[in-house]
A and B are shown apart, each in its own frame.
Chain A
Amino acid sequence: TQTVSQSDAHVTVFEGDSVELRCNYSYGGSIYLSWYIQHHGHGLQFLLKYYSGNPVVQGVNGFEAEFSKSDSSFHLRKASVHWSDSAVYFCAVSANTGYQNFYFGKGTSLTVIP
């Protein structure tokens, strides 16, 4: 059974702070790991993905994520957040076999105080 765990339901920081949103996964095959952002009242938008190679991947708007095989983790980070980064962030796992079947975490709601 594939699982995606986001341990923090809510994170609150001040504008200009750094932030790390955590994601751990359990999957027994070749996978893609990705992060999505959902602003209130909208659908999800793709931020970044990892499949192989450099474990640190860059996304849009200054976000990056780091893959760790030993920890089964794919944490999302940003060095200096802006109030517009307030949103819900979802970690996802998808298989690299056949047709896509995605598994999403429950999401982390990030609030950035101006």
Chain B
Amino acid sequence: GGIITQTPKFLIGQEGQKLTLKCQQNFNHDTMYWYRQDSGKGLRLIYYSITENDLQKGDLSEGYDASREKKSSFSLTVTSAQKNEMAVFLCASSIRAYEQYFGPGTRLTVL
């Protein structure tokens, strides 16, 4: 088995601040994902990466950057946090086209 670790679990920032979320997986999966989960809106794809140093934009990439410097890690940066923004950011990895493994999430609050 394996695990996906997301840090931090809770992230509180100020408006306009640059904030970074980290994700590590030990499944040795090639593909990793970042999703944003808002209440009542399901999951929306921000970025995904099919291998080390690859980045692919999802439907919600504006306002975010991502980095995949190692196969096991995938970072997401909120480039300028928006006031009253509150969401859970979920990291996932996969090796098959139908099955993703998710981390526990990072809950973001912007004051």
A42 proximal to B (CB < 8 A): yes
Chain B interface residue bracket vs A: 20 to 34
A101 to B105, CA, bound (A): 19
A44 proximal to B (CB < 8 A): yes
Q: A94-B98, A96-B97, A100-B31 are in contact. Are A43 and B42 (CB under 8 A)?
A: no
Interface of B, helix, strand, loop or mixed by DSSP: strand
A84 proximal to B (CB < 8 A): no
B104 proximal to A (CB < 8 A): yes
A43 to B102, CA, bound (A): 5
- Shortest beta-carbon distance from A10 to chain B in Å: 11
Q: Are A32 and B90 touching (Cβ within 8 A)?
A: no
A41 proximal to B (CB < 8 A): yes
Give the A-B pair count, Cβ closer than 8 A: 62
Which of B40, B41, B100 is close to A44, meaning CB atoms less than 8 Å apart?
B100
Residue of A whose beta carbon sits closest to that of B9: A41
Which of A41, A46, A51 is close to B104, meaning CB atoms less than 8 Å apart?
A41
Q: A43-B103, A43-B105 are in contact. Are A100 and B94 (CB under 8 A)?
A: yes
Residues of A within 8 A of B98 (CB): 32-34, 49, 51, 92, 94, 100
A25 proximal to B (CB < 8 A): no
Q: Are A43 and B104 touching (Cβ within 8 A)?
A: yes
Top 4 closest A-B pairs, CB basis?
A43-B102, A32-B98, A106-B42, A104-B43
